[in-house]
Amino acid sequence: MPLKLYQFAISHYSEKVRWALDYKGIAYEPEFLLPGMHGKTVCGLTGQGKTSVPVLVDSGMAIQGSNKILDHLDSAFPDKPLLPQDTNGQAAARAWEERLDDEAGPAVRTFAYHHLLQRPKVVAPLLTAKTAFWNQYLLRLGFSRVDEAMREMMNINEKTAARAQATIENLLEEINGIYRDGQYLAGASFSRADITAGALFAPLFMPPEYPVPWPKPGRLPPGLKEWHQQRGALLEPVAECYRTHH
């Protein structure tokens, strides 16, 4: 029975799991959900009230959350392990993963959506990617309510976006220092820490492997376009790791 990954196409935490599955060569069936309409499906899978994605279903067992899913993949499919072999490397990889999950993931989401939500024609295809084609048009019809709900739910505004930008830049500078020295985040070997970094920052460098229709540079909202022009070079070491290992 094939694995099934329930996800949002746009979700960078889902991208983290997609990349881990591909890296380990594990076949799976993608199940793309529509954000905001996914809760019943997810709760039905997990039997709990938490509606977050991704959720991986393996032989009838539902695993929720990217870090737990990666743990399961290494346990059930030990080839091409996602952790270094040595104890110190394993601790470093888990520490980086936890930090990036807690800091980079929310910061990228806040910063990117603050700007993208200013362009309904740009963000609607991203939010509805890989779902029924009419969802894009329905979302655009009710976009003012979607915008308001997303900003309230994720606490997105000018001040939080500015703080998120600072977090992104500080993390990228620290990570780039490690990559410039020829190391991976957990030492000498590629690991789930590097997957986490590449996946969570991916919405900013917009790789073609990511299953959404990224806007062309000329259609980026002004705030994102300006950031890419001034600070976009910070993304290159992480993007290069993504290109090399994805």
Average pLDDT across the chain, whole number: 95
Predicted local confidence at residue 50, as pLDDT: 83
CA-based nearest residue to 232, from 214, 208, 205, 213:
205
Residue pointed to by tokens 């890989």: 130
Residue 171 has pLDDT above 80, yes or no: yes
* pLDDT, tens digit (0-9, with 9 covering 90-100), for 17-28: 999 999 999 999
Q: What is the CATH number of domain 87-245?
A: 1.20.1050
| pLDDT band per the 50, 70, 90 thresholds, residue 39 | confident
Q: Is the pLDDT of residue 36 over 90?
A: no
CA distance 86 to 67: 19
Q: Do domains 3-76 and 87-245 have the same CATH topology?
A: no
pLDDT above 80: residue 243? yes
- How far apart are the C-alpha atoms of 64 and 116, rounded to whole Å? 27
Sheet holding 28-32, edge to edge: 28-32, 3-7, 55-58, 61-64
Mean pLDDT of the region 159-187: 95
At 49-102, the pLDDT tens digits run 788 899 999 999 999 999 999 999 999 999 999 999 999 999 999 999 999 999
CA 227 – CA 221 distance, rounded (Å): 10
Kindly report the number of other CB atoms within 10 A of residue 65's CB atom: 17
Mean pLDDT within 131-155: 95
Is the distance from CB of 116 to CB of 126 less than 8 angstroms? yes
Tens-digit pLDDT profile for residues 87-123: 999 999 999 999 999 999 999 999 999 999 999 999 9
Confidence of residue 181 (pLDDT cuts 50, 70, 90): confident
CATH, domain range 3-76: 3.40.30.10
In this prediction, residue 187 has a pLDDT band, given cuts at 50, 70 and 90, of confident
Domain coordinates of the chain in residue numbers? 3-76, 87-245
| pTM of structure | 0.96
Q: What is the predicted pLDDT for the residue at 57? A: 96
Report the distance separating Cα 147 and Cα 150, nearest Å: 5
Is the pLDDT at 1 greater than 80? The verdict is no
